[in-house]
Chains A and B, each alone.
Chain A
Amino acid sequence: MSTLHLELIETRLKEHFGEAVYSAELLYDFPVVTVEKDKLHEILKFLKEDPELNFHFLTTLCGLHYPEAGLPYGIMVQLHNMPANTRLRIKSFTSDKEPVFHTLTALWPSANWMERETYDFFGYRFSGHPDLRRILNMDSLEGWPMRKEYPLEDPFRKDKDDKMFGR
């Protein structure tokens, strides 16, 4: 199983980025590190290029939205070091309603569509992205569907009261 320990990752990150690393914890055996938004790209670059950490594989990337939190808007990036079989999740949050993250397409070409999907559903922009436009939804769609305030059902429908169901 995983041979790189969270303590090591945390120490290495704190050595290089100090205050920008907010927290490092294990959530259900999964190491999760929360970092400052402006340093996110640098930290990911370091994680990828450091020969010891070697998080060379981008597993997935997605947007997050916690309307009640102090920093409601964020993204999650999940990396994998295959030789050491260690996975790592990096999260970064901001209070900016229309946040701009630094694109990861230069580090991993696969980030291209993942970032487009995040933009499409959350409206988070990625500076330096080669082709940032909607990917799954139609271009004329208004709003950002995966944000919590976006209604799943037509909010003007009167015939269907589904407060008993779902959320």
Chain B
Amino acid sequence: MASNPLPADKNTGALQAKEYTTLNLGPTHPATHGIFQNVLKMDGELIVSAEPTIGYIHRAFEKLAERRPFNQITPITDRLNYCSSPINNMGWHMTVEKLAGIEIPKRVQYLRVIIMELARIADHIICNSVIGVDSGAMTGFLYVFQWREFIYEIYEELCGARLTTNIGRIGGLERDFSAKAWEKIHHLLKEFPEGLREFENLLVRNRIFMDRTIQCGPISAERALAYSFTGPNLRAAGVDYDVRVMSPYSSYEDFDFMIPLGTNGDTYDRFMVREREMWESLSIIRQAIEKLDKLDDKTTYHAEVPEFYLPPKDEVYNTMEGLIWHFKIVMGETSIPKGEVYHCVEGGNGELGYYLISDGGRTPYRLHMRRPCFIYYQAYPEMIKGSMLSDAILTMSSMNVIAGELDA
């Protein structure tokens, strides 16, 4: 007789119904890197179904934005994907610039590209090194995090802040790159490739890492598109969609770079896509510096938009007009056209879009943020169904789900 997997009752001999275990993964669990709850139904160590609960750090950004002047919304965008805040800030500035029809000088666009690509590297460093940590390789994380720290030092040079950067202004940047900032960027370009190569030597062809990540949490291209995946997760499944190429912003059309693609859409592919993207980002930064050298303009760091761009401080403190302008801008008393725009940028983890409706008032009438990880995280239960608990952890870290963006 074939063995029956169901346990029999000792007294009656009747077969008992199979029992599943319910396991709470989160809300605060060290392996989820953020506040997510997943109620898992487990059959032994296999996941039968997962029920994600989100919203633990919901802060009502869309409602808040309806009561804040346009320049005060930038700090809100910092707190979406806080691993790459500068991209969010730039995306927001560009949305308002599109609405107001502000033309941004070439030099500022290239400077913005440098900042955004630095942010992308910082974002991918975190995600990829954490995949290492979750699969048991702490070393890579500890070494490569020095570079993430170094990028934060560059932010500090550029805007004074590290994590929630509030970098740039509507109309440009609040200050030019300092000599020290350039020095640090050149140092990064010179030394970081060695550090990244070291990190890749540790993991990319590592048998244990490959066994752990290949075929772990895979998703097909069809399902990824149906679940509206964007960013590295979609590209790992083999779809070459990148906002920087499809709808170029900030002069990305001037740059020559590759869009790395995966084939299986599994954890290893997502890891590798991010890894390659870091190299491409480095190349974009190098190209931007070359292009900046070729430009005749060496000093512009903002567009001439007195309606939005704060006047210099000595004017504010010493002249009445400067003070009035400053006050008007800070209080949001600048005129803005009526209309609605959608602007999207390639964020650290996908297409970050701002849908802005303006009725000409001092605040947006409605602001909707398309947060990539809110949209793709709903595929998580499908991706981990039937896999082991430890694979579910790896899948989550490789999806780069950031609580701040998920819950907005």
CB atoms of A137 and B370 under 8 A apart = no
- Answer whether residue A59 sits at the interface, using C-beta atoms and an 8 A cutoff: yes
Chain A residues with Cβ under 8 A from B332's Cβ? 166
CB distance from B401 to the nearest CB of A (A): 13
- Answer whether residue B55 sits at the interface, using C-beta atoms and an 8 A cutoff: yes
CB atoms of A64 and B342 under 8 A apart = no
CB atoms of B378 and A109 under 8 A apart = yes
- Segment from B2-10, B220-228, B299-307 that makes contact with A: B220-228
Sorting the interface of chain A by its residue count into under 10, 10 to 19, 20 to 34 or 35 or more gives: 35 or more
CB atoms of B362 and A167 under 8 A apart = yes
CB atoms of B375 and A167 under 8 A apart = no
- Answer whether residue B116 sits at the interface, using C-beta atoms and an 8 A cutoff: no
CB distance from A117 to the nearest CB of B (A): 8
CB atoms of B375 and A76 under 8 A apart = no
- Answer whether residue A145 sits at the interface, using C-beta atoms and an 8 A cutoff: yes
Interface size on B, residues (CB 8 A): 45
- Answer whether residue B280 sits at the interface, using C-beta atoms and an 8 A cutoff: no
User: Which DSSP category, helix, strand, loop or mixed, fits chain B's interface?
Assistant: mixed
CB-nearest residue of chain A relative to B101?
Answer: A28
- Answer whether residue A135 sits at the interface, using C-beta atoms and an 8 A cutoff: yes
Query: Tally of A-B residue pairs with Cβ under 8 A?
Result: 100
Chain A proximity mask over B286-299: 1 for CB below 8 Å, otherwise 0: 00000000000000
Cβ-neighbour of B62 out of A27, A28, A32, A121 (below 8 A): A121
- Answer whether residue A37 sits at the interface, using C-beta atoms and an 8 A cutoff: no
CB atoms of A57 and B341 under 8 A apart = no
- Answer whether residue B180 sits at the interface, using C-beta atoms and an 8 A cutoff: no
CB atoms of A152 and B66 under 8 A apart = yes
- Answer whether residue B99 sits at the interface, using C-beta atoms and an 8 A cutoff: yes
CB-nearest residue of chain A relative to B342?
Answer: A30
CB distance from B157 to the nearest CB of A (A): 33
Chain A residues with Cβ under 8 A from B275's Cβ? none
- Answer whether residue B14 sits at the interface, using C-beta atoms and an 8 A cutoff: no
Chain A residues with Cβ under 8 A from B66's Cβ? 152, 166-167
CB atoms of A145 and B339 under 8 A apart = no
Q: For residues 349 through 376 of chain B, which have their beta carbon under 8 Å from a beta carbon of chain A?
A: 351, 353, 355, 357, 361-363, 366, 368, 370, 374-376
A142 vs B45: C-alpha distance when bound (angstroms): 40
CB atoms of B63 and A146 under 8 A apart = yes
Residues of A bordering B, CB below 8 Å: 1, 27-28, 30, 32, 56-60, 62, 64-65, 76, 78, 82, 85, 87, 89, 108-110, 112-114, 117, 121, 134-138, 145-146, 150, 152, 164-167
